[in-house]
Amino acid sequence: MTLPLQARIEERTFHFKQPAGTSRGVYRTRKSWFITLTDKEGRQGTGECAPLPNLSCDDVPDYAEILFRHCHTLTRTGEIPFDELRPYPSMLFGLETAMLHLKSGGLQFYNTPWSRGEEGIPINGLVWMGTKEEMQERLIEKIEAGFSCIKLKIGVDLHGELELLEYVRCRFGHDEVQLRVDANGAFSTGEAGEILRLLQSYDLHSIEQPIRAGQWKDMARLCRISSLPIALDEELIGINELQEKERLLDEIKPSYLVLKPSLHGGMQGTREWVELARQRGIGSWVTSALESNVGLHAIAHLTTRLYGDHIEMAQGLGTGLLYTDNIDMPLCIKGQKLWHL
């Protein structure tokens, strides 16, 4: 009997052009697993499975074996085993992408103004962690390149980071440059309240994950007392069941969610987060999780489905130029927008 689909898995390591620093560590390489599905007619679709080391809930030693098992289920049944894959969001995202690519018959997954090259998706300029001088240079480069929304990684040298924010605000008002900061859980619960108070004076859009994940009561308190909007990111990792998602949002009550399909439930799980957030008046935006251009291309398509044809809020999709050995895809950054060619 001929199976509905055939699957091939390929492991690949990508190399950063320059070290990508966060408060959690520095990335120099990135490993991905690529799934290529082939149907009976010979049509193919490829998806990327890219867990982040020491962060993804499915960053497990036997990742390749588990992925192979789920691919076998897919090739045998022709269907993605969504319930079985909830604990493995990066695998789910890769399989969803491969199926979407296969069914679309090309790289235009959906027929939207973005996929037709008529609209660009606004994106933020990302400034990785470094010395104060390095971060200042990178920040000015982003502004000169046309970005009006800048995201800075913070949480290692608070004094230098505050000086950098002061430098920007002395030259650009909030109506000229929107500033987002991402702490990646760097601050303790004892110091976070005072740090948020200091950050408020720089007219920031938001801060991502000021304290480490799993401290729901402390995060809820910060969201309640801080006038600086708080966005959740790492907090959402591993929260894969619908009722648990509802409980988290109802207890913490954040201002925003920062959604990464490879971390937060694949495409299906990301849709759930967006819908639950909307029901509660919580904003959201989508960002990549350092995937190659294959994953980034799929995430951009998903973003247009989540937020419509004319997206206004800057998304975190400016990672296509990170690697020396990235994969060519029909993507291009012009000014502060990501375009589909």
Residues belonging to the active site: 153, 260
Nearest to 22 by CA among 53, 48, 68, 51: 53
Residue 273 CA, distance from chain mean position:
13
β-pairing, 25-39 vs 5-22, is antiparallel
Three-state DSSP class for residue 92: helix
> Beta strands of 175-329 (E only): which ranges?
178-182, 206-208, 230-232, 256-259, 283-286
55, β-bridge pairs: none
Residue 305: CB atoms within 10 A of its CB come to 15
Token code pair at residue 306:
């989540």
CA distances from 320 to 32, 94, 107, 119, 181 (A): 15, 17, 16, 18, 20
Asked whether 66 and 57 are in contact (CB, 8 A), the reply is no
Residue 81 CA, distance from chain mean position:
23
232, β-bridge pairs: 257
